[in-house]
Structure 1
Amino acid sequence: MRASDAMSRPVHAVGPDDPIEQAAAMLIGYEVTAAPVLDSYGRIVGIVSEGDLLRHRVPTDPTLHMRRHADGTDADRPHTVRDVMTSKVVTTPPEADLADVAATMLDRDVRSVPVVDDDELVGIVSRRDIVRSMVRTDAVLQADAQHRLDEYAGSPRWTVTVHRAEATVTGTFRDEVERQIATVLTRTVPGICAAHVPA
């Protein structure tokens, strides 16, 4: 399974000069844990997560509120996304193996990875997306695979059965090319780990 199979889109992004309150409201409103930070050209310049917002908005110094600037704002308190974002962003291409993306998340201790294709942001993969793709039931996988095959063939020429995420495709095939097409189409279903076409 590839990153593009599990990624979420559209991607909800923020700008570096957006107020952090706006970023927090966006994360809460869309129920996402992180958002890419894009410059005016649409390039990723950072990522801001719930952790970044909490880390910088909950003061470690309990007397911080007693010190204020001339304009009445708290001293040393961040105000824009640029002030709190992580600038070293871990990204992945759409064709990356999802298992490799998961391993990178664990190794780098990140919860979301933007998916970038030729410098263009095309999606984002979160830990939740990966878990969701892993826990699809056999019945859901079977229905998804059957739909793809019926759509390709134009009629229900082939039948898919799925057991423990392994699919078997039966029916009449004109030639070896059709067998390969049925196998490949079935394997593109997120969550199916193997596909077989009996001889």
Structure 2
Amino acid sequence: MRAKDIMTSPVHTVRRGEPVEVAARLMAEHGVTALPVLDEAGALVGMVSEGDLLFHRVPADPTAHLVRQPYATAPRRPGIVAEVMAGEPYTTRPGADVADVAERMLRHDVRSMPVVEDGVVVGIVSRRDILRVMVRTDEVLAGEVQHRLDEYADGRRRWTVVVSDGVVRIDGDYTDDTERTVVAVLARTVPGVAAVTEE
């Protein structure tokens, strides 16, 4: 399974010069936890997350503390996205293996990763996207693979699909090795399929 199979596209983005309130509103409206940040030319220059937006934005309540702190001047609150974003974000490609994407996200402790092709952000993959695919049942996978193979066979049931623990087994006859390869590739394109075997 590839990043392009599970990525969200089109991507909601924000410009680095926009007010942080714009980024916060976009996250709330679209139910996302991070946004790719673009420069004026549309190139990816960073990522901004909910945590980045909260930094210095929530004022402390002096009545909530038992010991009163001496009065101090509040720090200047960041006003634009460029002041709070994380620069040089980790990215991936549309053809990247989802297992590699997940491992990289965990290793670098990032919750979402922009998908970039030819310098353009074409999608985004989040941990939630990966989890959503991984928890699909064998029955759902079997139904989707069977549907794709039946469509390829012009509506005829030439192959039978059985799925166990995400591994697809395809039973049936093939006209040649090319058709065998096409059928296996079609089965692998279903998000959540771990492997494909033949009887």
Q: What interval of TM-score do these two structures reach, taking the shorter chain for normalisation? A: 0.7 to 0.9
1:165 matched to which residue of 2? 166
Aligned residues: 191
The Cα shift of 1:60 comes to 7.0
- In structure 1, C-alpha distance between the alignment counterparts of 2:81 and 2:61, rounded to whole Å: 21
1:5 matched to which residue of 2? 5
- In structure 2, C-alpha distance between the alignment counterparts of 1:109 and 1:55, rounded to whole Å: 18
Q: Which amino acid aligns with 2:179?
A: E
Q: Which amino acid aligns with 2:130?
A: I
The range that moved more, 160-169 or 120-129, is 160-169
If the length of structure 2 is used for normalisation, what is the TM-score? 0.88
2:65 matched to which residue of 1? none
Structure 1, gaps ≥5 residues long: 68-73
**Could you report, residue by residue, the CA deviation over 1:2-34 in whole angstroms, capped at 9, with x for unpaired residues?**
211221111110111111111111111111110
Q: Which amino acid aligns with 1:45?
A: V
- In structure 1, C-alpha distance between the alignment counterparts of 2:3 and 2:19, rounded to whole Å: 31
Structure 2, gaps ≥5 residues long: 63-68
1:153 matched to which residue of 2? 153
RMSD of aligned Cα (Å):
2.1
Aligned residues of 1:7 and 1:123 also touching (Cα < 8 A): yes
2:46 matched to which residue of 1? 46
The Cα shift of 1:171 comes to 2.5
Aligned residues of 1:167 and 1:194 also touching (Cα < 8 A): yes
- Secondary structure at the residue paired with 1:57? coil
- Alpha-carbon distance change, 143 to 56 in structure 1, aligned in 2, over 3 angstroms: farther
If the length of structure 1 is used for normalisation, what is the TM-score? 0.88
Aligned residues of 2:20 and 2:79 also touching (Cα < 8 A): yes
Aligned residues of 1:6 and 1:125 also touching (Cα < 8 A): yes
1:70 matched to which residue of 2? none
2:136 matched to which residue of 1? 136
Runs of 4+ in 1 over 3 A off after TM superposition: 59-63
